[in-house]
Amino acid sequence: MPEHKPITMRILLILVITVYIAFAPGGCKSSSGPATFCDTSCLTDTLHFINDKHPLRPYVYISARNCIADTLIWSFRGMGVNRKMDFPDLVGAVPKLNKHYIRCYIPDTSYAWLLFNDCGTGRGYYVKIPFSKSGSFLRSGRAINNLDPKFSVTEGLVAYTDQGNIFVEEMASGKKAIMTLGEQLDFDFDAIHKTLDSVNISPSRVWAKVKLKDGWKELEKSITLK
């Protein structure tokens, strides 16, 4: 009937608007993607790590460009020059960094240890940075960092895996220990908890809950760093 036509048109208009809002960019919260390990907001500030207690004040800086970590800078008082390296080239990736998920240990002017997790995936990294030009970089994207709440690792230790073992190293002394997992596993380091659920690592003990061929197992070993 003619008198009902305006009501029908209003209903149709409401339906069209509702569909547009639901599918418009940013109109639906579920389109934001899966949850990330930590906040991936734009990194704008240079990150500063300095050992103020050492007379030569060794330091490590990470500068940002276009919202990502761009350049690694390190030196100490009297060195006479800032050493620099492209950060993505150094780690072999373009990780999304958050200042709350980075640790840097600078015991003296020999080496600095940089530990961090990619906020996009949760993948753990470590980099051992030599202050001397003759020193060698050590780096890994297989780190087991205590920045991950499911990984308890005593401060001053760095832990990592080659997919068949868990290695533990004391950063200050270089002393090491190892726990064998018993199998060579297929880790996805961008989703590490699918294989390595949790760990508790101290200078005297390694405990891990790991998914072996027979299912989830809890492994434990007393260790001596040497």
| pLDDT over 90 percentage in the chain | 73
Q: Which residue has the higher pLDDT, 18 or 48?
A: 48
How does the average pLDDT of the chain come out, rounded? Answer: 86
Instruction: Look at residue 125 and give its three-state secondary structure.
Output: strand
Q: Which of 132, 4, 112 is nearest to 62 (CA)?
A: 112
pLDDT computed for residue 34 by the predictor: 53
Question: Across residues 159-169, what is the average pLDDT?
Answer: 98
Strand pairing class (176-180; 138-140): unpaired
Do residues 221 and 206 lie in contact, with contact meaning Cβ atoms separated by under 8 Å?
yes
Q: How many whole angstroms separate alpha carbon 166 and alpha carbon 36?
A: 25
Answer whether residue 80 shows pLDDT above 60: yes
Q: What is residue 35's predicted lDDT score, i.e. its pLDDT?
A: 67
Query: How would residue 27 be classed by pLDDT, with cut points 50, 70 and 90?
Result: very low
SS3 call for 32 = helix
Strand arrangement of the beta sheet that strand 138-140 belongs to:
102-105, 111-117, 124-130, 138-140
136 vs 30 pLDDT, higher one:
136
* 10, pLDDT greater than 70: no
Helix (H, G, I), strand (E, B) or coil at 127: strand
Pairing between β-strand 165-170 and β-strand 176-180 as defined by DSSP bridges: antiparallel
pLDDT for res 11: 38
Beta strands in 76-187 (DSSP E): 83-86, 102-105, 111-117, 124-130, 138-140, 151-153, 157-161, 165-170, 176-180
Query: What pLDDT does residue 74 have?
Result: 98
Distance from C-alpha of 109 to C-alpha of 127, rounded to nearest angstrom: 15
pLDDT higher than threshold 50 for residue 48: yes
Q: Residues 174, 177, 182, 187: what is their CA dihedral angle, to the nearest 10 degrees?
A: -30
220's enclosing H/E stretch is: strand 215-222
pLDDT score of 196 more than 80: yes
Q: E strand or H helix at 13, and its extent?
A: helix 5-23
- Predicted confidence at residue 17, as pLDDT, reads 36
CA 74 to chain centre: 20
Residue 131: DSSP 8-state: S
How far is residue 87's CA from residue 58's CA, in Å, rounded to a whole number? Answer: 19
